[in-house]
Amino acid sequence: MTAHRLRLLDQSELRAAQDLFLAALHRPPISDADWTAATTYYDNSRTLGAFEGDRLIGTATSWASRLAVPGGATVPHAAISRVGVRADRTRRGVLSALLRSQLTQLREQGSVAATLRATEAVIYGRFGFGVASRGRTLVVDRRRSAMHGHAPAGGEVRLVDTDAFTSVLPTVFEAVGPQRPGWIQRWSGWWYRLGRPEPGETKVAAVHTGPHGDDGFVVYGVRRGGHGEKSVLTVRDLVAGSPQALAGLWRFLLRVDLVDEVVAELRPLDEPVDLMLADRRAGEVRAVHDETWLRLLHVPDALAARTYGEANPVVVEVADALLPANHGHYRIGPDGAEPTDEPAQLALDVTALAAAYLGDVAPSTLAAAGLVQVADPAALPNADRLFATGQVPWSGTYF
């Protein structure tokens, strides 16, 4: 195994870190113009580098944020991204060292949880990340689409200029606030990046105004088709604070001219857009993908932060090989969760706990998959009721 050392990068080293990350994704180095924009969403005080001698061979970064948990509370949270290792230095322990160091430091700094969006699904379970929310891709045939007469209505939609990406839209986002477990607070650089155009399209933003003010927005781009190809409107971001705002924004999207299809990726599994259509077959769910990969950094605080359903208390044993301070027995009941010395009825590792924590997967489902060990079968239905949320978790923030 090659020897390497880890340290925080300084400002002058961030571009090399970005290029290393892009190379790991098989992309070319960043251009001067794009780097000027990229500096707005890097934080060198949170960017780690792995070095072999003086050569950078791996990197990972994060942003400070907050995560909404079941019950409506938010906890200190780190959004992890730009994790990469040089192709000639993979499988030598570099990634493991980076993530162990990063997760340990984040816990010590007070983050209760961390999340990321995974390019490869087989990597992050080894480090305690579990899939905690999912999203679906909805494709609507615009020319066949129309909302039925009972779809929510009220309010107006207006287009806003590009300055709104860093002014109006963040204000609306904060005003709407967390509506589901999995919501994360966005940082200033995230908004700047949202305004950057995708290749071949211009981004457009529209804001919905309801009876109490601005309560939703959508950001989208259109790629015009040629030679028989379809013109596609792709939803890049959509936030709605009410059913009226959701319906109003989609009603607006479905009336944009010179568009054949509207595509919205990673939307909530239970978002009722297709139910608002007069012709249900005009909307088609093309895929369901993992969204939030959650890592509980401080299990006692995470368990104590969320609320639980009505059921008999259950004692669970949590194992965490990477952060052993999390290992222990926890008594979870309608009144909350706390460490205990009582015998465990269920046992699972921190990865499986992450999958259940926001309410995406029931403990009994995890048990059926072999991810929860059951000492007391009567505890499983109680655990299902305790961890149930009544809301499908979803973040809606890609980073």
| Residue ranges of the binding site for acetyl-CoA | 83-85, 91-96, 119-120
CB atoms within 10 A of CB 217: 27
47, 52, 57, 61 alpha-carbon torsion, rounded to 10°: -10
Angstrom distance (rounded) from CA 324 to CA 195: 41
Name the DSSP class of 297. S
Asked about 173 being catalytic, the answer comes back as no
Closest C-alpha among 59, 100, 106 to residue 78: 106
Whole-number Cα distances in Å, 91 to 38, 87, 102, 323:
28, 9, 18, 22
**124, 127, 165, 387: which is the annotated catalytic residue?**
124
Angstrom distance (rounded) from CA 389 to CA 394: 12
Whole-number Cα distances in Å, 55 to 18, 49, 101:
14, 10, 19
Angstrom distance (rounded) from CA 222 to CA 210: 26
**21, 42, 220, 399: which is the annotated catalytic residue?**
399
Lateral strand order in the sheet of 261-267: 156-160, 203-210, 213-223, 232-240, 261-267, 134-141, 283-290
CB atoms within 10 A of CB 16: 15
Asked about 129 being catalytic, the answer comes back as no
| Residue ranges of the binding site | 83-85, 91-96, 119-120
96 burial (CB, 10 Å; 0-12 / 13-18 / 19+) is middle
> What share of residues in the chain are helix, strand, coil (percent, to 5)?
30, 30, 40
- Contact between 262 and 238 under an 8 Å Cβ cutoff? The reply is no
Which of the residues are catalytic? 124, 399
